[in-house]
A = this chain, B = another copy of it.
Amino acid sequence: MTTTTESPVNNGVNVEALLGAKEALTGAPEAAQFQWRAACEWQNGTHSTSTVEGFFGLGEEQKHRTTYSFDVDHPELFASEDNGATPVELVLVGLAGCLTAGVAAVAQHREIQLRKVSATIEGAMDVRGILGVDTDVRNGFSNITVTYNIDADATPDEIKALVAQSQKRSAVYDIITNPTDVRVEIA
């Protein structure tokens, strides 16, 4: 007879802290009011640089460990300089990051050890919208497909349920699939 020692599941997500936060915010809705921010500076042409540093949450100003900076531009195909990813690609990256973080968190909670998680995200777009060729064509994506490849100590059904739960709690999935009020003002 052999004795096997099971090592605890570790996906690097501190589920206890998240459950603690959930409990703490249940009685303090005002602390749950966050504000996320970006600051954008136009460079030249379609090229801009945005930075992300501070945000507001848990009743006070918060800061990232460091300032994150992003160059955004249009590709050479649209007569631009391609100094960065396009704005719509950044949205796809946000969606991928959101769903993937969710998969890891839900897996930890369900005690499923992940080994490898990767995804491809594809957004279809008819550019006659943004170019103003046909006003019946929307500017954004016609549709988005996210395809996951997940290697984990779990059955295919458990993996399917992981991804479904991540979708259910995803901020960016909600932002893309439901309308949000956006106000654009001049200072």
Contact = CB atoms under 8 A, between A and B. Distances in A.
Interface of A: 11-14, 17-18, 21-22, 25-26, 29, 32-42, 44-48, 50, 52, 55, 57-58, 62, 64-65, 68, 70, 72-80, 82, 84-101, 103-105, 114, 116-134, 138-150, 156, 159-160, 163-164, 167, 169-187
A96 B74 CA distance: 13
A24 to B, nearest CB: 9
Contacts of A114: 42
Given A12-B45, A90-B91, A50 B96 contact: yes
A138 B90 CA distance: 22
The listed residue with most B CB atoms (<10 A of its CB), out of A84, A90, A117, A181, is: A90
A150 B32 contact: no
Interface of A is mostly: mixed
A29 B96 CA distance: 29
A132 B148 CA distance: 23
B79 A122 contact: no
Given A18-B79, A125-B36, A52 B143 contact: no
B72 A101 contact: yes
Given A40-B119, A44-B12, A94 B94 contact: yes
A22 to B, nearest CB: 5
A2 B133 CA distance: 44
B131 A170 contact: no
Contacts of A39: 118-121
